[in-house]
Chain A
Amino acid sequence: MTRVFALALREITERKLLFLGAALIGLMTLLFPLMPVPGGYRYVEVVQVSAAVFALALMAGGGIVLGATTIGRDLSSGRLAFFFTRQLRAWEIWVGRILGMLVAVVISVVIVALPAIVISGGTPSPSALRGDSELPVAMIFALMLPLVAHYVSVALRSRSAWLAFDVVAMCAAGGVLWTLSLPFLPYWLGTPKALGAIFALLTLFLALAGWVGLAKGRITPVAVHRWSLVTLWSLVVIALLSFAAWRAWVFAASPQEIEWSKGWASEIDGNGEWIGVGSGEEKGRGGIPHEFLMSTKTGAWLRVDDSQSVSVSADRRIAVIAKRSWAWRPPSWSETTIQTVDLTAARPRVRATGIVQGLWDTPALSPDGSRVVVRESSNVAVYSLSDEKLLAAFPGEERSWPIMSFLDNGTLLVISSKNDESIISTFDIARRERVARNVFKGGRFKRDRTGAHVAITASTTDKNGTVAIYETKSGVKLGEIPFIGSAFGRRLHWLADGGIALASIEPTPLRAGVLPATVQAAVTIHALDGTERLRVPLPGAKRIVIAGEQRRGELIVVWATNENVSSPCAGTPHVVAIDLTSGSLRELPFKGWPRAGTWRVAPEPGGASSRLFSTCDGAMVMFDAATGEARALLGGK
């Protein structure tokens, strides 16, 4: 190491003029505030900012100039032989000289910043050196620059034809890296940590290439370049192949290999066969969400990554996917393309269409699967899937979030939420005209299975409100149900007979130390006019979820004595079956929590939402209340 330090010291002492220049710049920063500056900045601030600008410029510029000349100039002038005819190993020459050069750059940067540090009476903030800060990335980048400059300098000085290879390899590697990175860009690849890792890897590669170049090429510029080139691009190819292999492994994951504890599942066809399942951002599998379309009956699955939403036709033959990704650039957050899947195929595959959605709303399929409705910026558009021809376009509600569905193959129902209002429009596709438009109070809604009725929740206070039931086409209010707590999501359920099940629960007071008021927890069954047909008290329940009807007339409900929603199994979940005729309650021998959302469309009895549960060990199972059997669908962890 003595020789390395001797070489480094020589490099540092050789930069006397650089240090002198840095000192002059540092002193100049003290004079900048004396010039007229608009905005009335403080003297110290102006000095600090100018010092930072000059320090950064010196770090980048100095790094590039010194990186390009430290060894490259000696190589082209034949002076590198001075070092190779001494007792110096190639790595000692490389490390010693590059280390000395880097230290010289750092010293000059410190000299520039020193007056600013002195007059501000402090040092750089420790928070700036944290791992999630951009400063470490900038420092790694600054470390990489001289090595890039060295490589380019040697390549240019060698004047060999291999330079063309460098250019081609750089373009190719950049293109391949970009293509491989696309799925990860929206998640973590653009973060400072990831960029820092990439820069660090490139720095390592360049350092190794520089060393091998010197060790094998020694004093011959062409040979130094050739060996550097072979080393650098071999490492890059190995890295890209490894990245490609890892990427392939990430995307080869089946639903069974994904950890579901933070995942989601959705019933998407209303009939219960096809569900959408996805994980959270999986660290073990690339830090991206994995999304699948999966049959609960056969276990068949199809990867639908970057799909914003999926719909299945009523006859369960076709699915449409709104997919976010593009082949050559990162997935757009606002634009989606429509893809279709023939679910009757032995191995269902995704087929791209030319239909583009301006936003990421859920497309809907007509009952026969021949038409799809998408949202195009301000319009709602209906396309024929066979020839991708536009059949009709209707103006949507401004600044609203529409839920689109077909009442039949020729009638479109669009429910839009806007400022605590729900606007329900019905359109005739053949005549290309709006048939009805009704505005209701309340921004949360759930339509029944046929689309004939809609239940709209409106909160009167933060603890209670009403659920109003309307006829969608006429807008006639059929009834109203007061509720306590929340009446949305899985606390409101459209029954197969057209009635409504509602889970009411009074929330616990938020203030610590105050005893809760009498908790009134119950599941109530209502007719369309709002009258209560049945009340089933669930004493002690602090959480209630309505899973749904596994068979007509029997409602599966899960309740727990604990409010912790992030830990479903805490508080011992009780899975009960309620007889909708007698109101009798039957505790089922199963512990789990319903997992499937219902996409705001009431499912049919026996649908996945009533059967799909996650068990306490994180597995996803299909539970049959009649037999008590829990069939494992996806393994837990």
Chain B
Amino acid sequence: MTDSPQTTVARLGEVSVRYGRKLALDRLSLSIERGSVYALLGRNGAGKSTLVRVLLGLQQADRGSATIFNEDSWRRRAALMKRVAVVPEEPDAPQDMTGEEILRFCSRISERWDDAQAKARLDRFGVPLKTGFGKLSKGQRKQVSLAIALATSPELLVLDDPTLGLDVVAKASLFEELVSELADRGTTVLVTTHDLAQVEGVATRVGILVDGRMALDEELETLKSRFRRIRVAQAEPGVEESLAPLHAIGTRRWGAGLEAVVGEFDAARVATLAPSGIDVSSMSLEEIFLAVAGDREVSR
């Protein structure tokens, strides 16, 4: 992965954040390339929201650096927000304002604003413009947030768990919408989500946060090509040692058999594990996530 000013849109360097005694982010580094869709995954309390806040300049890191478009995101937050849009986990627009008032207000404070696009989007999703934001459904509020985010034609869009609280159809349409709209614009996207199945279809790169540390950070295709689930029907003693070079993350024996998830799949080496009865299957993002982050205790 290259890390040049021309291609890197957002970057965290050795960032640490501490809440009292708990280390929320532990010397975490991250780069998001232009045009990519970066899926940041992690269990609750892994540090995703803290990471997003630090990256957006909403919270100051105890140490390390956070930049967007090579500018310090803490110091240059207001200026950077011209090129960055955020869809928060909980829609945070003022409750008493109607959709129309919110659009009018945002148009006054944003240098880049496409009012027609925002209204068209809300109209397409049937969001009433005259109803107070607080009285809209969760899905409608998300759509308002998304509409005002996209109306500024951001170069970086941060989606903080955008599907939280949405029904299955709304989730699917949101991601489809994003893929079709953002692909045309070349917008870089950082998305934190628990909806791994949906994000697998749009993400180009994945980062998995575990206890404030980046356990994994790479292109989705590479990741999926590396990870395999291996089942050996008759596993000889010492097979576990043979799996070590494949970076076995978890092994499990049942009777004479053995199941393992490996992080560096090598077909030739796998073939040597047993003369027969070897089953190798590819893994979904969700399975990889469970293998990497699922067994660990997350402490808050």
Binding site for B on A (CB under 8 A): 2-3, 6-7, 10, 13-14, 74, 78-82, 84-90, 92, 216, 218-220, 223
Give A218 to B74 CA distance when docked, in angstroms: 10
Q: Does B1 contact A (CB under 8 A)?
A: no
In the complex, the answer to whether B108 meets A3 with C-beta atoms within 8 Å is: yes
Name B106's closest neighbour in chain A (CB-CB). A86
Of the candidates A6, A87, A89, A219, the one whose C-beta lies within 8 Å of that of B59 is A219
B contacts, CB < 8 Å to A:
53, 56-60, 77-79, 81-82, 84-86, 88, 90, 92-97, 101, 105-106, 108-111
User: Which residue of A6, A81, A87, A90 has the most chain B CB atoms within 10 A of its CB atom?
Assistant: A87
- Looking at the complex, which one of A2, A3, A79, A220 makes contact with B92 (CB distance below 8 Å)? A79
Q: Which of B92, B101, B108 contacts A82 (CB 8 A)?
A: B92
Q: A84-B58, A219-B59 are in contact. Are A10 and B106 (CB under 8 A)?
A: no
Question: Which chain B residue shows the least CB distance to A13?
Answer: B101
- Which residue of chain A has the shortest Cβ distance to B89 in the bound complex? A78
Judge whether A85 and B59 touch: CB under 8 Å. no
Contact residue among B57, B60, B81 (Cβ-Cβ distance under 8 Å from A86): B81
| B88, A81: Cβ atoms closer than 8 Å | yes
Q: Which residues of B contact A74 (CB under 8 A)?
A: 94
Q: From residue A211, how far is it (CB to closest CB) to chain B in Å?
A: 14
Min distance, Cβ B116 to any Cβ of chain A, angstroms? 20
Pair count A-B, CB < 8 A: 71
- Is A85's CB under 8 angstroms from B81's CB? yes
Taking A87-B79, A87-B109 as contacts, is the C-beta distance between A79 and B94 under 8 angstroms? Answer: yes
**What is the bound-complex CA distance between A7 and B110, given in angstroms?**
12
Among all A-B residue pairs, the 8 with the closest Cβ atoms: A6-B108, A82-B92, A85-B86, A89-B78, A79-B92, A87-B81, A3-B109, A219-B58
| Given A3-B109, A6-B105, A14-B58 contact (CB < 8 Å) | no
With a cutoff of 8 Å between Cβ atoms, the chain A residues found around residue B60 in the complex are 216, 223
Pairwise interchain contact B88-A85, C-beta atoms closer than 8 A: yes
Cβ-defined contact, A14 with B96, below 8 A: yes
Say how far A387's CB is from chain B's closest CB, in angstroms. 63
Residues of B within 8 A of A2 (CB): 108-109
Given the interface contacts A2-B108, A219-B59, does A87 sit within 8 Å of B94 by beta carbon?
no
Residue of B at shortest CB range from A90?
B78
- Within the complex, what minimum Cβ distance (angstroms) separates A223 from chain B? 8
Given A86-B81, A86-B106, A87-B111; A81-B94 close (CB under 8 Å): no
> A314 to B25, alpha carbons, bound, how many Å?
83
Given A10-B105, A81-B88, A82-B93, 19 other A-B contacts at CB below 8 A? A3-B108, A6-B105, A6-B108, A14-B96, A79-B95, A84-B57, A85-B56, A85-B84, A85-B86, A86-B81, A86-B109, A87-B78, A87-B111, A88-B109, A89-B78, A90-B78, A92-B78, A219-B58, A223-B59
Distance (whole angstroms) from the CB of A14 to the closest CB of chain B: 5
Contact A87 B110 (CB under 8 A): yes
Measured in the bound complex, the distance between the Cα atoms of B33 and A394 in whole Å is 99
Instruction: Considering the complex, give the chain A residue whose CB is closest to the CB of B112.
Output: A87
B94 and A78 contacting across the interface, CB-CB below 8 Å? no
Asked if A14 and B94 sit within 8 Å, CB to CB, the answer is yes
In Å, the complex CA distance between A371 and B211 comes to: 83
A531 to B59, CA, bound (A): 97
